[in-house]
Amino acid sequence: MNIEHRFLDVPGRPRIHVAEVGKGKPVVFVHGFPEGWFAWRDQMHALAAAGFRAIAPDLRGYGESEKPRGAKHYKASLVAGDVAALIESLGEGPVPVVGHDWGGPITYRLAMDHPELVSRLFIMNGPHPLHFNRLLRKSAAQRRRSWYIFFFQLPFLPERAMAGRKDVFARMFRGAVPAERLVDYQRAFPDVSSWKAPIDFYRAARTKDVRPKTKIIDKDVLVIWGMRDFALGPECLEGLEEWVPRVRIERLPNAGHFVQQEAAEEVSAILLRELRE
């Protein structure tokens, strides 16, 4: 099946590019940094072949979606609101939502602000935002892993540094993404300006956001975690029950941060097993 593309236009919100494939019950995928809808290609095809409708937007600031100027436009509540608007446009009630990396905290925030739109959550190597803020204060190991978050707070320099390295994706993915797919990333990040909004996500995260409607997510949450993650340590998995009492964790020992691409077949199989149940 071919992936189809369209745009979502909601008054007061950026125009959002949406990729989708398949028919049936919708499942929404939320990508991380520095990616786009295409990071979910394997899972989208697997779910579509099994009778689901897989839907993956480019988050605001990414790919073909609109890119508002200024870090204030990339607060988690606003980005989660875009995903909520997409789900509302489907008109099919609460849906499962899958988030990776930055898509993890965005998906958690979606469930905190719009619980009526989410039936269950799948989180892949993405931290719970409240838990992660605590870790950055208390865990020296996680602060060392997260050095880039502090670097990204600087003006101008991070964008230039990322755009100026021809091997940036090869170094970042460390073989996790097949070489032939790197063209997707190169096409999505062609110059300095294309890095501005994605890095603004990190800047916005260090500023004050509105409070979530609820801090406790009363949904089934399955965390799928590549244990060779270079950016997020295993302590991100400890104590999640405080925020998500119905959490379960599947640890994949041979996968790293980009788990849905490093262990594509295994991740797709887990999703299908859970969704069919």
Nearest to 104 by CA among 81, 84, 132: 132
Task: Using the CB atoms, write b or e for 179-196: b if 16+ within 10 Å.
Answer: eeeeebbeebbeeeebbb
Mean pLDDT rounded to a whole number for the chain: 96
pLDDT, tens only, 108-157: 999 999 999 999 999 999 999 999 999 999 999 999 999 999 999 999 99
Domains in the chain: how many in total? Answer: 1
Range of the domain at 198: 4-276
DSSP 8-state secondary structure symbol assigned to residue 177: S
Task: Count CB neighbours of 239 within 10 A.
Answer: 12
Average pLDDT estimate for 178-198? 94
**Which residues, including other chains, have CB under 8 Å from residue 106's CB and lie 6 or more apart?**
30, 59, 76, 79, 80, 83, 99
Check whether 41 has a pLDDT greater than 90.
yes
Domain containing 25 — which CATH number? 3.40.50.1820
Residue 103 is predicted with a pLDDT of 98
Q: At 80, list the tokens.
A: 């989660």
> Two tokens at 30?
């939320």
Res 179: pLDDT: 85
The torsion angles phi and psi of 14, rounded to 5 degrees, stand at -60, 155
Task: Give 174's pLDDT tier (boundaries 50, 70, 90).
Answer: confident
- In angstroms, the CA 213 to CA 112 distance is 6
What tokens does 175 get? 């073989």
